[in-house]
Amino acid sequence: MPRRANYRGRPVPFPLGAVLLAASVIALAGGFSHWLVFLAGIGFLGLIDDWLGASPGSPRGWRGHGRALARGRPSTGPVKAIGTVCLAAYAASGSELTAIEGVADVGVLSLAAHLGNLLDTRPGRTEKALALAAATLCLASASLSPLRPIAALIGPVAVCAWVTLRERAMLGDTGASLIGGMIGVLLGPTLAAPATYVALGVLIAISLYGEFRSISAAIDRVPLLERLDSLGRVN
């Protein structure tokens, strides 16, 4: 596996998320699911981004990719964004929803995948976001049913978290997008329409904030979030 410098400048194997992509493909081979198609698809799009879109000087963020596209410089960003929305629309089509509910679900799935990338600037952060979302939804529903669509990938994500928290590898966009997508899959089938609209608003707000400000800096300013963020991390 190739190596890339992490946030400390330490070279570590990259992208570990390829393991999650492989796990999602194996799970899909074992039983068809719209949700697994979505997760495998965005993992594959993330892998393309890791291979082709992470060279020095490559555009970052929505604004960076937008400026590059306006200047006639193709980048992986628009391909990944369009592909993610199409995959989200396919996944949402497996549920009986009104037009507005369907659009909201597509937005939640797409922006949750993006959230995974926004959070993946420190080891284990994206995996912890998934764990927090899963615990919250399971407690709210008093059951483990929200985990059903992603059950096959929980074990592989736990293994990846153990590795990334010890800074022995990085997820890359492959893993971060896929885990973020898992958060979206948790939210989509579980939340009623009003809660889905709230979740969509929160994801839009976080995405816009991450485009202009540092999420890591915001987390460091809140003691509780900073402690949760550093929990389990081996320096």
Q: Per-residue pLDDT tens for 97-150? A: 888 999 999 999 999 999 999 999 999 999 999 999 999 999 999 999 999 999
- Does an H or E element contain 195, and which? helix 193-212
Lowest mean pLDDT among 12-16, 65-69, 118-122: 65-69
Q: Is the pLDDT at 229 greater than 80, yes or no?
A: yes
Rounded-to-integer distance, Cα 55 and Cα 104, Å: 34
Residue 63 in tokens? 């604004």
Q: Is the pLDDT at 54 greater than 70, yes or no?
A: no
**What pTM was computed for the model?**
0.91
Residues 129/183, Cβ–Cβ less than 8 Å: yes
Q: Which residues contact 155 (CB under 8 A, 6 or more apart)?
A: none
Lowest mean pLDDT among 33-42, 47-56, 132-141: 47-56
Average pLDDT along the chain: 89
At 103 the pLDDT is: 94
